[in-house]
Amino acid sequence: MVLLANWTLTSKKMLSEVLSAETWLPSEMPEYAQGFMYMLGSLTASSFVVLVISGVLMVMNGPDTWSYNGAMRFVAATHFWAVQAFFFFMMLHLWRVFFTGAWRGGRGATWLLGAIALLIAIPTAFTGFLINGDLYSQWNAVQAKDGLNALGLGWVNLTNSGQMFGMHVVVLPLVLTAVIGLHITRVRMKSVVPPYPDAKSDSAKGTVK
């Protein structure tokens, strides 16, 4: 009963913090968090939103419209460039949080979730290229399948367009969305990591450790 009570109290405390309006709509933001480098995470998330919306539109209209329908070709192009923006901003965000020590202050899990999101995003994007059905995608599928067979992952049939379509449209996006959602939730709960202390000002005060 004691363990159940402790688990219940911990869950209630965590949920109250996650669902708090102050967590998601803070009235004040730290001054250091208003710079462009601290916007890279938001730009990555915004690119992901464009990816999801354009991807849903493409799935609703079917694969044949990606090549023959003018409006859907525009949506497909938007989806493609959103992928480029997503990885571009994600890599900049990764380097920024690495050099600013984003794991400080109990933020290690937040950093780990971001790294996992990157690892999941890579096969998600790759399976998207494989369902194009052109010669380039077929060549990549055959070459990558040989590599997966060497790793003992032959059950992942990259030449099976149906399997790749399901992986790209359902399985991997859902997992990636969940990981990104957890990552953003922890960022809102822990706030953005502050910069490293100014060594010069600390030395002048005699507080260098």
What is the domain partition of the chain in residue ranges? 34-92, 101-194
Q: How many CA atoms lie within 13 A of 25 on its CB side?
A: 3
* Cα–Cα nearest to 128, from 58, 182, 178: 58
Distances (CA, A) of 41 to 2, 25, 85, 120: 40, 17, 12, 17
Span 130-148, pLDDT tens digits: 888 778 888 888 888 878 7
Q: C-alpha 99: how far from its chain's center?
A: 19
The pLDDT mean for the chain works out to 81
Supply the pTM of this predicted model: 0.79
What CATH code is assigned to 101-194? Answer: 1.20.810.10
Q: How confident is the model at residue 23 (pLDDT cuts 50, 70, 90)?
A: low
